[in-house]
Structure 1
Amino acid sequence: MGSYQRHPRIDMHCHAVPPGYRQYAIDNGHSNPDGMPAMPKWTPKSHISLMQTLNITRSILSITSPGTHLTPDTSSSAATGTRQTNEELSAVCKSHPQHFSFFASLPLPDVSSSLLEIDHALDVLDAVGFAVLSNAHGVYLGDPRLDSVFDKLNARKAILFIHPTTCNILQDGDDGQPVPVAVKPQLGDHPRPMMEFMFDETRAIANLLLSGTVEKYPHITYIMSHCGCTLPPIIDRIAGFATLLGKKTGAQDTREEYKQLLRSRFYFDLAGFPFPDQIHGLLRVLGDKGHERLVYGTDYPFTPGGLVASLADELDRGCDELFGREDRERVYVGNAEWLLGLD
């Protein structure tokens, strides 16, 4: 599969669909998550086979959208479903310790259950961090309702892997009910991961910056997925509007402040289609040492194995053009090793 050079790599953005979670999602109406044609098949064996083909030395598994809080206003069942899913992923990792680690899920926006899950996932299940969605039933990262969760994550010096999901903006005057979204795709619809995911994660990162959350909790390390989504081309616009909305620093200082936070507090995975074009906007924002903030990702199995291989080929060619050998190795392995404490 593919003719790329097989440089070793650590996969920071890949997913698992173990049987318990698959049934849990189907039972809650997510047979076609976010308008995708189907939930992909997944087994540890098939995942390890792909890893061997691509020379992936470790994969950090996570649950992707729609996450583990599958139905609004069902906090009890969401807490149970999240706990069971995290335990299922932990068991997979313990059965294959040379291949897998995992980011645990949280039942956001249920704050009390999420606080309990943070300690359980780290202390009992050996999670290496947490996978959270850009919004949880319309509550976006950076919302003050989540401050106690971020306070706990900060105290635990957690890694927070942020994954996009379907946009779910709350409407004014509707008692907090989110904008309804279709569960099953219709003929002619575009699956939301095609475009809407990129906008929604950008919205979440903007909210983290604008709300002051990133500065307020200095010990959380963030991983933004998909090469920064649509953030790079509008980060200057976001900073400019922040000054119009009451931020006391000028536009130039605010731009530099936000870019410095991205350079020091965020990593960016290269899952998806960073080449031939997207990567250049992100590197302009990150500056001369941008390669120190990049990590590898496949998005398997939601990106099928054959496409993962061809994207790996394209990524190898692009990275060989942009980076020297040592810098490329940091992107593929070194940065992830540092994040995970493996070096």
Structure 2
Amino acid sequence: MKRIDVHCHAVAPGYRQYAIDNGHERPDGMPALPAWSPEQHIALMERLDIDKSILSITSPGTHLTLGHDVDAARMTRRANEDLSEICRSHPTHFAFFASLPLPAVEESVAEIDYALDVLGSVGFAVLSNANGVYLGDEALEPVFEKLNARRAVVFIHPTTCNLLGDDGQVQPAKPLSNYPRPMMEFMFDETRAVANLLLSGTVARYPDITYIMSHCGCALPSLLDRIGGFAAITGGAASQGDDLRRLLRERFYFDLAGFPFPNQIHGLLRILGEGGEERLVYGTDYPFTPEKVAVSLADQLDKGCEELFDDVQRQAVYSGNAQKLLISRINHK
């Protein structure tokens, strides 16, 4: 079946050098920034029958030094322009999610209009936290107001848990530091961010934003009842479990990058209920997931989806849901 890959990344030369210059040659405890080129990516797409890949910049993002907002805005603009140029050079293969220089609010608001109106992005890739400021923080309210006004698609990607101290310094949290943080810590950090989006009321206040949560919902399905239960205990009646589930079903899509099979997928589908396959989209996480592993995971996904879904449902998961969400935006560029 044809596929649309909503979770994949580009490592353009300018961004690669920027990350290395700022101490991220081994991002988040990984061995290195992977090699990437449009040609390599297209070869994988042909191998996996992928019609369209939605490129994005991944962790650690484009704001690498707290307080250097001007530099971050400049690098974010360059990264977005690079992705836009790649898409213009390969229009049948690629579209892109633009980055934002969060937590810089004014600069991020300005980048939203430029990315959509000038560069032709189909949405925005944001990290679970930006230098310790988590999605759902009241400081980011103007950014979400603008995203809502533009009816934006927001793709959430995990990153290292960063702690913002009283002294204004950012300290990455590195428990079990002998393991790369994408192995476990990423899953907890995105869960933390989405929980904060829900509990803070951000999702409810801005109903015209559509979110894509990565990695099959991370740890959220397992914790949702606990989060909702504690919200009720502490007085947040509007954030009880049923309300949280409703918002997830109505406002979120969930990509299947990573290891959703054989076990993780079942918790997410239980949360989403009947028709839950209509909220699933395909993802490879290439090139941070190497080609050989991406192919193996695609085989696992094929087998798992054949057990869970009929042909019509599988087509929706592989491409139909993403097409409804994104392709009209691509064609409107």
- TM class, shorter-length: over 0.9
2:168 counterpart (166, 176, 182): 176
Q: Map 1:15-30; keep pairs closer than 5 Å.
A: 15-30=9-24
1:25-47 Cα distance to aligned partner (Å, 9 max, x none): 11111100001000000000000
1:193-226 Cα distance to aligned partner (Å, 9 max, x none): 0000000000000000000000000000000000
1:288 counterpart (249, 274, 280): 274
Looking at structure 2, the residues matched to 37 and 272 of structure 1 have their Cα atoms a distance apart, in angstroms, of: 18
Is 1:237 the counterpart of 2:226 in the alignment? yes
User: Unmatched 5+ residue regions in structure 1?
Assistant: 1-6
Q: CA deviation at 1:169?
A: 2.8
Looking at structure 1, the residues matched to 285 and 300 of structure 2 have their Cα atoms a distance apart, in angstroms, of: 15
Q: TM-score, normalised by structure 2?
A: 0.96
Looking at structure 2, the residues matched to 263 and 157 of structure 1 have their Cα atoms a distance apart, in angstroms, of: 18
Looking at structure 2, the residues matched to 180 and 216 of structure 1 have their Cα atoms a distance apart, in angstroms, of: 30
Q: TM-score, normalised by structure 1?
A: 0.94
**AA paired with 1:273?**
F
In the TM superposition, structure 1's runs of 4+ consecutive aligned residues that sit over 4 Å from their partners are none
Alignment partner, residue 107 of structure 2: 113
Alignment partner, residue 214 of structure 2: 225
Q: Map 1:52-91; keep pairs closer than 5 Å.
A: 52-91=46-85
Looking at structure 2, the residues matched to 157 and 198 of structure 1 have their Cα atoms a distance apart, in angstroms, of: 27
Alignment partner, residue 154 of structure 1: 148
Alignment partner, residue 210 of structure 1: 199
1:282-319 Cα distance to aligned partner (Å, 9 max, x none): 00000011100000000000000000000000000000
Distance 1:180 1:267, change over 3 A: closer
1:86-119 Cα distance to aligned partner (Å, 9 max, x none): 0000000000000000000000000000011000
**AA paired with 1:124?**
V
How many residues align? The count is 329
Looking at structure 2, the residues matched to 134 and 207 of structure 1 have their Cα atoms a distance apart, in angstroms, of: 10
Q: CA deviation at 1:178?
A: 2.7
Looking at structure 2, the residues matched to 178 and 13 of structure 1 have their Cα atoms a distance apart, in angstroms, of: 27
Alignment partner, residue 31 of structure 2: 37
User: Unmatched 5+ residue regions in structure 2?
Assistant: none
Looking at structure 1, the residues matched to 9 and 111 of structure 2 have their Cα atoms a distance apart, in angstroms, of: 19
**AA paired with 1:136?**
A
1:231-267 Cα distance to aligned partner (Å, 9 max, x none): 0011000001111222135xxx821110010000000
Looking at structure 2, the residues matched to 29 and 152 of structure 1 have their Cα atoms a distance apart, in angstroms, of: 32
